[in-house]
């Protein structure tokens, strides 16, 4: 378009066009081309502005993605560390249990496992101040008397929940 306008201007300046009508047409075309060029330049400016704002948005979103990714990485790291801790604790507790279970007579262990299954995972409970810590019931005085009279290696059980009772110095006997 610029070339065409320049060519028209050249023809106009050269004096080759002499007819007033042709001159007028040429002048009109030059004016119209200048106006279209102006319009197109406005469009180009607008497109450039929009591209700039889109680039800013892209940069902003890229930054946010990076920040979220950092948080994901941190959380994943913490989760993995927690998994490792849990695994180590499980291994250690499992080993401890094996050692303890190895020292318990087979029939008592069998009873304990059966009770544990029946009683929501707790097969034995501490007797604390005459109260079974498994079912939280205070034992009747007759049961306390029986437990008091029982030999230390006798397996005593809660009359209420049937769990194995573990006697200690806090048992209130
Ligand atoms: Zn009980």
> In angstroms, what is the span from residue 160 Cα to ligand 1's centroid?
5
pTM of the shown model: 0.53
138/3: higher pLDDT:
138
- Distance from Cα 151 to the centre of ligand 1, integer Å: 20
Over 90: is that where the pLDDT of 17 sits?
no
Find where tokens 């306008």 sit: 5
Tell whether the model's pLDDT for residue 9 goes beyond 90: no
Nearest CA-CA partner of 12 in 59, 2, 25, 1: 25
- Supply the pLDDT for residue 155: 94
Query: pLDDT (tens digit, 9 = 90+) per residue, 73-112?
Result: 999 999 999 999 999 999 999 999 999 989 999 999 999 9
Q: Which residues surround ligand 1, an ion (CB under 5 A)?
A: 132, 134-135, 158, 160-161
Distance CA 14, CA 11 (A): 5
Rounded Cα–Cα distance for residues 20 and 26 (Å):
10
| Better-scored residue on pLDDT, 2 or 154 | 154
Q: What is the spatial distance between Cα 85 and Cα 145, in angstroms, rounded to a whole number?
A: 45
At 18, the pLDDT band (50, 70, 90 cuts) reads: confident
pLDDT tens digits for range 119-144: 999 999 999 999 999 999 999 999 99
Q: Got the DSSP string for 12-45? A: HHHT----HHHHHHHHHHHHHHHHHHHHHHHHHH
136 three-class SS: coil
Kindly list the strands in the beta sheet with 131-132, ordered across the sheet, starting from the edge strand earlier in the chain. Answer: 131-132, 124-128, 164-166, 156-157
Residue 2 pLDDT grade (very low, low, confident, very high; cuts 50, 70, 90): confident
If pLDDT is split at 50, 70 and 90, which confidence band does 41 have? Answer: very high
How far, in Å, from the CA of 163 to the mean position of ligand 1? Answer: 6
Closest among 73, 156, 70, 40 to 108, alpha carbons compared: 156
């Amino acid at each position: 378009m610029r070339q065409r306008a320049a060519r028209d201007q050249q023809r106009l300046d050269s004096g080759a066009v002499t007819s007033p009508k042709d001159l007028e047409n040429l002048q009109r075309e030059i004016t119209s081309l200048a106006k279209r060029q102006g319009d197109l330049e406005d469009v180009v400016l607008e497109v450039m502005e929009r591209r700039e704002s889109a680039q800013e948005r892209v940069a902003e979103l890229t930054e946010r993605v990076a920040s979220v990714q950092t948080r994901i990485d941190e959380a994943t790291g913490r989760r993995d560390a927690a998994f490792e801790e849990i695994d180590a604790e499980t291994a250690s507790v499992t080993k401890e249990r094996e050692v303890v279970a190895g020292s318990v007579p087979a029939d008592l262990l069998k009873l304990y496992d059966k009770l544990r299954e029946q009683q929501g995972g707790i097969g034995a409970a501490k007797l604390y101040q005459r109260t079974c810590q498994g079912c939280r019931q205070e034992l009747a005085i007759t049961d306390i008397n029986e437990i008091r009279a029982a030999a230390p290696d006798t397996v005593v059980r809660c009359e209420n929940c049937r769990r194995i009772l573990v006697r200690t110095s806090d048992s209130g006997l």
